Amino acid sequence: MDLKNRIKERAEELGFCKIGFTSMDDLPRVCEEARRREYPEFLLGLAERGSHPRQIAPEARSIIVLAYDYSEIDYPESLLPYIGRFYLSHSFMPREGTPARGRLDAFESYLAEEGVDFEPDRIQLMIRPAALRAGVISFGRNNFAYVDGVGSFVTLYGYFTTCEFEPDEPAPNCLCPPHCHACIDACPMDAMGEPFNLDASKCMVWVNALSYSRAGVRDIPEGLRDKLGLHVHGCDACQAVCPRNQKALRREKTSDPLLEQISSEFSLEKLLHMPDGFYQRCVRPIMYNYVDDPVAFQRNAAIAMGNSGDARYVQDLRMELGNPDETIRSHVLWALNKLEGQVEDGETTSV
Ligand code: B12
């Protein structure tokens, strides 16, 4: 068996659902798309740089793309309404000591054993278009990368290597059923106007997580708060309704000890009050990618409480009216106004 096939076989043994190889050629369509969609400046910069692989890794000759299917994890029902599966899977830029980090370490050790010189991509490469060209994924109308027969609940990883591998055949552009627009209709943020066209600045995770870390933005615009529903970090709406993901959602699952432990403690009340140690035990291990500031999560908990229609939270919100942080106070006030208005109208679920 040649080196490329040995690497493919090893990746599959390690639990990656697909692997492919592609060239270092530019991915020009990415910046065109990002510009056309008037991406926030920060994301446009990422897209520009990330679509020129040779600028990121001048010495490299090929790109290896791996996909990991995170639908295998049994996500606790107590966490799913609040946090996107992608983050719960803690497989994106995984931390030391996690199963996802272990899988990547094992793959890297294998490359080293085979004498393959490599450099992991640190999020810079525009991985979806690279994965399409490597034959690993096709695009869904919701912008997501789909591994055929697996679905879109996949995390993608890229490696640059100085070895020159024969590129794989690109996958078909899109395999969605004709005329299906379930994903576009399901987006609570109305972030998708037309197929393959996500308005990144409206996407849930941009609004409730990423925008916070950019340019000191702390407040979530009032007009968007209702739309966030109960979500405190990302959302799966456009993937969960997709007919191509139903098999993955129903498959046999494996429990994740970290999630089990977090789910036994997690609640919106704790997220709002942030008792000692809660942030390090229950927030940081899964929501570590973009924001490292408890205030952002307290703010999001307040919004979720306001949107819950549950009068049980009125008391908790009142307790934070004197919080020294202005962002927390103003979002708590918004949530209280919303909930108390509903209490007066008799619309809440429990009083
Ligand atoms: C910045 C970023 C974001 C931004 C902007 C996302 C966006 N779509 O533009 C925000 C914060 C909003 C975001 C949100 C999410 N993200 Co994000 N994000 C990234 C990141 C770092 C860069 C993506 C980017 O800026 N792309 C620029 C745009 C223009 O390109 P693109 O979407 O990749 O590809 C489009 C165009 O290039 C064009 N295109 C290019 N070539 C071709 C060729 C053909 C034939 C066609 C039809 C189209 C086409 O169409 C593509 C689809 O619209 C990538 C990791 C990476 N380094 O690539 C992860 C990544 C895209 N995110 C990921 C995930 C999971 C999410 C969330 C689901 C998290 C959540 N649960 O809340 C959401 C959902 C977003 C969505 N519906 O796409 C995964 C996606 C995995 C998958 N199966 O697709 C990635 C790949 C991370 C990873 N390594 O696995 N994300």
Q: Are 208 and 271 in contact (CB under 8 A)?
A: no
Whole-number Cα distances in Å, 70 to 48, 85, 86, 194: 28, 8, 7, 27
Q: Is the CB of 53 under 6 A from ligand 1?
A: no
Residue 233, both tokens: 């970090």
Q: Work out the pLDDT band at 216, boundaries 50, 70, 90.
A: low
Distance separating alpha carbons of residues 308 and 303, to the nearest angstrom: 9
Please report the pLDDT score of residue 215 as a whole number: 55
What gap in Å lies between CA 137 and CA 195, rounded to an integer?
Answer: 17
> How close is the Cα of 47 to the center of ligand 1, in Å?
10
Confidence band, pLDDT 50/70/90 cuts, at residue 35: confident
- 61 within 8 A of 164, measured Cβ to Cβ: yes
pLDDT of residue 335: 98
Alpha-carbon distance of 205 to 118, in angstroms, equals: 31
Provide the pLDDT confidence category of residue 34 given band limits of 50, 70 and 90.
confident
Instruction: Tell me what pLDDT residue 349 has.
Output: 64
Atom of ligand 1 nearest to the CA of 198: 8
Query: Ligand 1, atom 30: nearest CA belongs to which residue?
Result: 30
- Residue-range domain boundaries for the chain: 3-161, 189-228+265-345
For residue 178, the model assigns a pLDDT of: 86
CB of 91 within 6 A of ligand 1: the answer is no
| pLDDT band at residue 36 under the 50/70/90 scheme | confident
- CA 267 to chain CA centroid, nearest Å: 21
pLDDT range class, residue 291, cuts 50, 70, 90: confident
Average pLDDT in the chain: 93
Amino acid 327: pLDDT = 93
Q: What is the pLDDT of residue 302?
A: 98
Q: Is the CB of 42 under 6 A from ligand 1?
A: no
Whether the CB-CB separation of 65 and 131 falls below 8 Å is answered with yes
Q: Is ligand 1 within 6 A of the CB of residue 126?
A: yes
The amino acid occupying position 79 is: L
203 CA: nearest ligand 1 atom? 12
Pocket flag, ligand 1, residue 272 (CB < 6 Å): no
Say if strands 254-255 and 192-194 run parallel, antiparallel, or are unpaired. Answer: unpaired
Name the nearest CA neighbour of 315 among 282, 347, 343: 343
Q: Is 11 helix (H, G, I), strand (E, B) or coil?
A: helix
Residue 315 has pLDDT above 70, yes or no: yes
Residue 281: is it exposed, middle or buried by C-beta count within 10 angstroms (0-12/13-18/19+)? middle
Mean pLDDT score, 184-209 = 89
Ligand 1 near 176 CB (within 6 A): no
Query: Would you say the CB of residue 142 lies under 6 angstroms from ligand 1?
Result: yes
Q: How confident is the model over 307-315, as a mean pLDDT?
A: 96
- Sorting pLDDT into bands at 50, 70 and 90, what band is 199? confident
pLDDT at residue 38 greater than cutoff 90: no
Q: Is pLDDT at 210 greater than 80 in this prediction?
A: no
pTM for this model (two decimals): 0.94
DSSP letter assigned to residue 290:
S
Q: Are 149 and 18 in contact (CB under 8 A)?
A: no
pLDDT of residue 193: 82
Query: How far away, in angstroms, is 254 Cα from ligand 1 center?
Result: 26
pLDDT of residue 348: 65
Cα angle for residues 242, 306, 184 (degrees, 5° grid): 20
Distance 240 CA to ligand 1 centre (A): 17
Percentage with pLDDT > 90 across the chain: 79
Specify the pLDDT at position 351.
Answer: 37
User: Are the beta carbons of 332 and 302 closer than 8 angstroms?
Assistant: yes
**Which residues 6+ apart lie within 8 Å of 155 measured at CB?**
67, 68, 70, 86, 89, 91, 92, 100
Residues 6+ apart with CB under 8 A from 213: 290, 291, 293
pLDDT at 183 over 80: yes
* From 203, 238, 286, mutation site for ligand 1 pocket: most ligand atoms within 8 A of C-beta: 203
Which of 76-80, 139-143, 277-281 has the least mean pLDDT? 139-143
Task: Tell me if residue 254 falls in helix, strand or coil.
Answer: strand
d(CA 67, ligand 1 centre) in Å: 14
State if residue 173 touches ligand 1 by the CB under 6 angstroms criterion. yes
- Per-residue pLDDT tens digits for 142-157: 989 999 999 999 999 9
